[in-house]
Structure 1
Amino acid sequence: MNLQIQRALRSWPVLNWLGSYQRSWLKGDVIGGLTAAAVVIPKALAYATIAGLPVQVGLYTVLVPMAIYAVLGTSRPLSVSTTTTLAILAGSALAQVSPSADPADLLVTSATLTLLVGAILTLAGVLRLGFVASFISEPVLVGFKAGIGIVIVLDQLPKLLGLHFEKGGFFHNLLATAVNIPQASLPTVVVGVTTVLLLIGMKRYTPRVPAPLVAVAFGLAAMSLLGLGDYGVSSVGNVPTGLPVLTLPDGSLLNALWPSAVGIALMSFTETIAAGRAFARSDEPVPQPNRELVATGIANIGGAFFGAMAAGGGTTQTAVNRLAGANSQLASLVTAALALGTCLLLAPFIGLMPNATLAAVVIVYSVGLIEPAAFREILAVRRTEFLWAVVATAGVMLLGTLQGIVVAIIVSLLALAYQVSDPPVHVLGRKPGTNVFRPGSDEHPRDEVFAGLLMLRPEGRIFFANAEHISTKVQAAIVASEPKIVVFDFRSVFDLEYTALKMLDAADRRLQEHGISLWLVGMSPSVQAMVMHSQMGRAMDEQQRLFLNLEQAVAYYQALGD
């Protein structure tokens, strides 16, 4: 029976955290959930407008996916609704499939897209594909998010200024915004700029106060008390009161939406696992990628039938949830309950909110995606990876957000291919008076080298894609030093592929023809097993050309000279 209970706890995370729930957690969970709701709900309303959807979709996204994830997810502080990245990706997909922007069509298309995203995430979890999120490298992800931030700011700027024009590509929108600035609505600009300044000031001077909630309250008060509608300030409009109604996806749209759904699912999982890991305490379970895929997938599937848009874990809202005191998934259930109350009681008031207020919220929190410091840090470490980040940014801006994901993945894979195809081969020397062998450099001019002995250390996996590059570097080093013996220190080589082994065998024969002996040193068990299965390896063993370490090889070489 105890074994069955343990299996149940492992299968249902909700039983796990409820079974270990402590009474002292309750206060922190309630405060964390309330505080997160004050931030998440206004932002979700704003993010729904990014996707071109009615604002109530944002409420439904806080209500349904968040509640489902709280029951199924493994991360205790993770707050799941929508994010700027997911909203812009969803909006791009919806615009391609439902260009008419009819609200009814958009809701059905959004439900279909969200269902597809959930199905892809769930299937990926069942197939244990959690490692796929690692296909986007950190520099490329930095660039991708920066591109998303720039696109969102440009998309929302006309709403902040009260401008109206037909949307197009990035440069079209940039030029149209610049050209139409003289036609900006001054009252709308005042509302938008004031909201931006309020949000920035509160983030800096009163970080514990939920700035988005205050901004929304400010916008509603200004609209009602000052009659801003009479001055041309547009509002959100009618927001239906009550629970979300059942929304059935349209199967005929699956073929058109699945490519977009794959990209959105990838970003949803990437953001979810990153946020979950970032805010997990040392005494808490580490989020499990494959279970997170299933939990987030089912949250999206459930949300799809109740009007929610694509959802995932958000870094900002998770940070607010954790810092406000959240100790378990109960905090997310409190946030979802607040969203439910808003649906039932506060929807009419939301309809009075100025569009400029929502645009200001989106812009302030989207600018955070653009991290110049991260670009500088990457540039300081490696210029090549900085270029990858820039390419990812340009891909999003010039090709679109969905295509930008493809660019990001391709750039990451090309970056990986570049790194593994051209590994370094170090010429080694020995630190005087020690047994430390290190790459030669101008910083260590006194390191010992041994006449007639060339010590080389390749790094990484040696296989068909990089064996030729390594061979070229080795040949250049041999020509430069004219040794009698070449030693390969393989302690930094974790794998030797068959093609590379055959090239090593050929190199051994060529060197012997020129009177040069090849020695192998410091092989790992797997590499040594590979070598010893070959005729070359057996011959080397018989001829005493295999050594455990460089110190042993050098001692043997010096003994030969004596």
Structure 2
Amino acid sequence: MSGSVYLRDERAHLITENECMTDKPFTRRLCSCCSYATVRKRLPILNWLPQYSLQWLKLDLIAGLTVGLTVVPQALAYAEVAGLPVQYGLYSSFMGCFVYCVLGTSKDITLGPTAIMSLLCASYIDHDPIYAVLLTFLCGIIQCVIGILHLGFLLDFISFPVLKGFICAAAITIGFGQVKNILGLHNIPQQFVLQVYYTFLRIHETRVGDVTLGLICIVILLCLKFMKGHMKSTEPNTSFLVKSCCTIIWFFATARNAVVVLSAAVVAFVFTDHNLDVFTLTGKTAKGLPPFRPPFFSEKTENETLSFKDITEDLGAGLAVIPLMGLLESISIAKAFGSENDYRIDTNQEILAIGLTNVLGSFVSSYPVTGSFGRTAVNSQTGSCTPAGGLVTGSVVLLSLAYLMPLFYYIPKAALASVIICAVLPMFDYTIFKKLWKVKKMDMLPFLLTFIMCFWEIQYGIVAGVILSSFILLYRVSRPQIQISGEGVVVLKLQSELNFPAMQYFSDKLYKEALKASPPRSAIVDFHRVNYIDYTVVKEMEDLLRQFKDKKLSLVFTRLSKEVLSVFLAANLKGFTCSHSVEAALQSLTGTETLR
């Protein structure tokens, strides 16, 4: 509703010539950096706060409260995925709400723990909170550097098939990883293949109470989701009773995770109070808010002290994979909802917001966070107008930490597992196999490689997919499309850019069609679609010009852009000839050949 007005005020105070009259470049840059327009760009809250209204406040309160009731049970569950005590899920859920309110450019997105980020972290932190918090700090620093240096283009090297392969594999890995909690099994390894093996090996140890509760929770969650998806908007003349019933149903369906988890906790409490050990419970959790302190840069164990260098070596590829995947996930979500609600985001500002969230989050024992698709969808659907709804969501999390932690003892792990399974089910897009095969079969290769390798190790799957995608891209760059025509004079029309990887292929084509032909013939190269050439291209063209000259033939370049022409002229190539059109070059060469 309000997406059309959010961030639409383009009026900004710009420094004029009268305010900053100087010829010194450094002073001009300083004035520009200190201008109100720059401050507004770096603090997007200044764009919407002056326009804030009571109507926006009402909608943001509803959206923030609804998301808060969604994030609390999900945070507890995702901490389980990350291999951390459940309170770390809540520690990771409130800092992003406050930071993003000031720095974010999307009215919908919510930052916090997600299934994918939790799974990635589990691969590197080995159930160690100190590793998790330090990883958060380092990821935040890396993301801030990427944002400040405008290196967001690095995300473009992760293609959609690679991303989709990772998400589909992650959905299966996360979902199956919770089967042990549904069945009430213990001591199941983290690695996926071993997890599958030992789950079936110990399936006879299944606890009836856990599996019964888990299946009931899954059925209730799916039913509530189905009800919400099929609710129709009420007509204006609908009775108050009907409207009230629809509102109640909508609220319970939207906050279904909280409803199921709380209900399961009540059931577990009743059984425990009667000394019946029926369910596997979350157990004792730390009380109260986390202390505000910097992350530990070393760790003392029973046998040794791990230095900062030792920890970073253990984290290894995670210091590259987790920051990039966090940015990719969050920015993709922000762009999707910005397009849906008619506003645009600032990518580099989003990167800074996520980076600063992780840096500050590490001071409150957070593990790495990113944008959540599910909670962002809830935020958007409940009518959020600005990021101010995050203040309400963050407050709900803080209140839960302050007053409800003792109650989390009774939350059954099967209930949290059902929340995770229902959250990741939609992530697996089975139609992508058919779409890729139909649209572009070549893209099936990086998708399948990523998908399969992620079951071994998540990071290996992503890296393998990116490398294969890069090889495919380089192959296409090194084999430019060339349209060949002409009889007496061969005409080669380049249909794409000409860079150093493609130069050998182009040179071989030209040599085969002109110099090696019987008889050899002159050639025209049409550069109409080429806007950039490098030194390798220039040197190879110099060699080709010499070979044509030795055979007393001509090589003419046509329709050169200003940039390409300036490079050729700067190189001062002997025998370099150009023409404004292919037809003019043909006439010139035909006349020359006739004279000969």
TM range (shorter): 0.7 to 0.9
Q: Aligned pair 1:274/2:332, yes or no?
A: yes
Instruction: Tell me the amino acid that sits aligned with residue 262 of structure 1.
Output: A
User: Which sections of structure 1, spanning at least 5 residues, go unmatched?
Assistant: 96-100, 429-449
Aligned to 1:300: 358
**Matched-pair contact (CA < 8 Å) for 1:65–1:80:** yes
* CA drift at 1:412: 3.9
Of residues 572, 580, 591 in structure 2, which corresponds to 1:548? 580
Name the SS for the 1:456 alignment partner. Answer: strand
Q: Aligned pair 1:217/2:274, yes or no?
A: no
Of residues 232, 238, 241 in structure 1, which corresponds to 2:278? 232
Of residues 42, 55, 63 in structure 2, which corresponds to 1:32? 63
**Matched-pair contact (CA < 8 Å) for 1:143–1:393:** yes
Matches within 5 A, 1:20-419: 20-95=51-126, 101=127, 106-167=128-189, 169-207=191-229, 209-210=253-254, 211-225=256-270, 230=276, 232-252=278-298, 254-255=308-309, 256-257=311-312, 259=316, 260-280=318-338, 286-398=344-456, 400-419=457-476
The separation in 1 between residues aligned to 2:171 and 2:77, in whole angstroms, is 14
Matches within 5 A, 1:514-525: 516-525=553-562
Instruction: Tell me the amino acid that sits aligned with residue 408 of structure 2.
Output: I
Query: How far does the alpha carbon of each residue in 1:415-453 deviate from its partner, in whole angstroms, 9 at most, with x for none?
Result: 43233222222336xxxxxxxxxxxxxxxxxxxxx5434
Given the superposition, is the C-alpha separation of residues 483 and 46 from structure 1 closer, same or farther in structure 2, using an over 3 Å criterion?
farther
* CA drift at 1:553: 4.7
The separation in 2 between residues aligned to 1:232 and 1:21, in whole angstroms, is 51
Name the SS for the 2:178 alignment partner. Answer: helix
Query: How far does the alpha carbon of each residue in 1:343-399 deviate from its partner, in whole angstroms, 9 at most, with x for none?
Result: 23333333222111111221222233332323432332322221011112223222x
Of residues 537, 560, 566 in structure 2, which corresponds to 1:529? 566
Query: How far does the alpha carbon of each residue in 1:245-267 deviate from its partner, in whole angstroms, 9 at most, with x for none?
Result: 23542212533235323321111
Name the SS for the 1:426 alignment partner. Answer: strand
Name the SS for the 1:457 alignment partner. Answer: strand
**Matched-pair contact (CA < 8 Å) for 1:112–1:254:** no
Instruction: Tell me the amino acid that sits aligned with residue 548 of structure 1.
Output: H
Aligned to 2:478: 421
Instruction: Tell me the amino acid that sits aligned with residue 519 of structure 1.
Output: V
Aligned to 1:432: none
Residue range with higher mean Cα deviation, 22-31 or 114-123: 22-31
Given the superposition, is the C-alpha separation of residues 347 and 168 from structure 1 closer, same or farther in structure 2, using an over 3 Å criterion?
closer
Instruction: Tell me the amino acid that sits aligned with residue 212 of structure 1.
Output: N
The separation in 2 between residues aligned to 1:175 and 1:38, in whole angstroms, is 36
Aligned to 2:45: 14
Query: How far does the alpha carbon of each residue in 1:221-254 deviate from its partner, in whole angstroms, 9 at most, with x for none?
Result: 4424566983532011123443222354221253
Name the SS for the 2:492 alignment partner. Answer: strand
The separation in 1 between residues aligned to 2:43 and 2:200, in whole angstroms, is 54
Of residues 446, 450, 457 in structure 1, which corresponds to 2:493? 457
Given the superposition, is the C-alpha separation of residues 532 and 27 from structure 1 closer, same or farther in structure 2, using an over 3 Å criterion?
same
**Matched-pair contact (CA < 8 Å) for 1:88–1:148:** yes
The separation in 2 between residues aligned to 1:47 and 1:192, in whole angstroms, is 16
Q: Aligned pair 1:493/2:525, yes or no?
A: no
> What do you get for the CA RMSD once the two structures are aligned?
3.0
**Matched-pair contact (CA < 8 Å) for 2:295–2:365:** no
Given the superposition, is the C-alpha separation of residues 476 and 193 from structure 1 closer, same or farther in structure 2, using an over 3 Å criterion?
farther
Query: How far does the alpha carbon of each residue in 1:183-213 deviate from its partner, in whole angstroms, 9 at most, with x for none?
Result: 3223222222222233333333323522322
The separation in 2 between residues aligned to 1:310 and 1:279, in whole angstroms, is 22
Given the superposition, is the C-alpha separation of residues 488 and 122 from structure 1 closer, same or farther in structure 2, using an over 3 Å criterion?
same
* CA drift at 1:274: 1.4
**Matched-pair contact (CA < 8 Å) for 1:109–1:249:** no
Given the superposition, is the C-alpha separation of residues 237 and 549 from structure 1 closer, same or farther in structure 2, using an over 3 Å criterion?
farther
Name the SS for the 2:284 alignment partner. Answer: coil
The separation in 2 between residues aligned to 1:387 and 1:408, in whole angstroms, is 8
Name the SS for the 2:85 alignment partner. Answer: coil
* CA drift at 1:330: 0.4
Instruction: Tell me the amino acid that sits aligned with residue 244 of structure 1.
Output: P
The separation in 2 between residues aligned to 1:63 and 1:525, in whole angstroms, is 54
The separation in 2 between residues aligned to 1:171 and 1:350, in whole angstroms, is 31
Instruction: Tell me the amino acid that sits aligned with residue 464 of structure 2.
Output: V
Query: How far does the alpha carbon of each residue in 1:294-330 deviate from its partner, in whole angstroms, 9 at most, with x for none?
Result: 2212211221121222111122221221121111110
Count the aligned residue pairs.
Answer: 526
Residue range with higher mean Cα deviation, 166-175 or 481-490: 481-490
Name the SS for the 1:167 alignment partner. Answer: coil
Query: How far does the alpha carbon of each residue in 1:45-96 deviate from its partner, in whole angstroms, 9 at most, with x for none?
Result: 111111111212112222122212222223222211111121111122111x
Instruction: Tell me the amino acid that sits aligned with residue 417 of structure 1.
Output: L
The separation in 1 between residues aligned to 2:71 and 2:585, in whole angstroms, is 64
* CA drift at 1:523: 1.9
Residue range with higher mean Cα deviation, 77-86 or 469-478: 469-478
The separation in 2 between residues aligned to 1:277 and 1:160, in whole angstroms, is 35
* CA drift at 1:551: 5.2
Instruction: Tell me the amino acid that sits aligned with residue 33 of structure 1.
Output: G
- TM-score, with structure 1 as normaliser: 0.85
* CA drift at 1:7: 4.1
**Matched-pair contact (CA < 8 Å) for 1:220–1:352:** yes
The separation in 2 between residues aligned to 1:295 and 1:404, in whole angstroms, is 28
* CA drift at 1:283: 8.4
Residue range with higher mean Cα deviation, 190-199 or 84-93: 190-199
Instruction: Tell me the amino acid that sits aligned with residue 264 of structure 1.
Output: I
Name the SS for the 1:368 alignment partner. Answer: helix
* CA drift at 1:22: 3.9
The separation in 2 between residues aligned to 1:303 and 1:481, in whole angstroms, is 72
Given the superposition, is the C-alpha separation of residues 187 and 514 from structure 1 closer, same or farther in structure 2, using an over 3 Å criterion?
farther
Aligned to 1:440: none
Aligned to 1:466: 502
Given the superposition, is the C-alpha separation of residues 199 and 461 from structure 1 closer, same or farther in structure 2, using an over 3 Å criterion?
same
* CA drift at 1:167: 0.7
The separation in 2 between residues aligned to 1:29 and 1:367, in whole angstroms, is 28
User: Which sections of structure 2, spanning at least 5 residues, go unmatched?
Assistant: 1-12, 16-34, 230-249, 299-306
Name the SS for the 1:501 alignment partner. Answer: helix
Instruction: Tell me the amino acid that sits aligned with residue 220 of structure 1.
Output: A
Identity of aligned residues (%): 28
Name the SS for the 1:423 alignment partner. Answer: coil
The separation in 1 between residues aligned to 2:567 and 2:206, in whole angstroms, is 71
The separation in 1 between residues aligned to 2:528 and 2:222, in whole angstroms, is 53
Name the SS for the 1:460 alignment partner. Answer: coil
* CA drift at 1:549: 3.7
Given the superposition, is the C-alpha separation of residues 248 and 501 from structure 1 closer, same or farther in structure 2, using an over 3 Å criterion?
closer
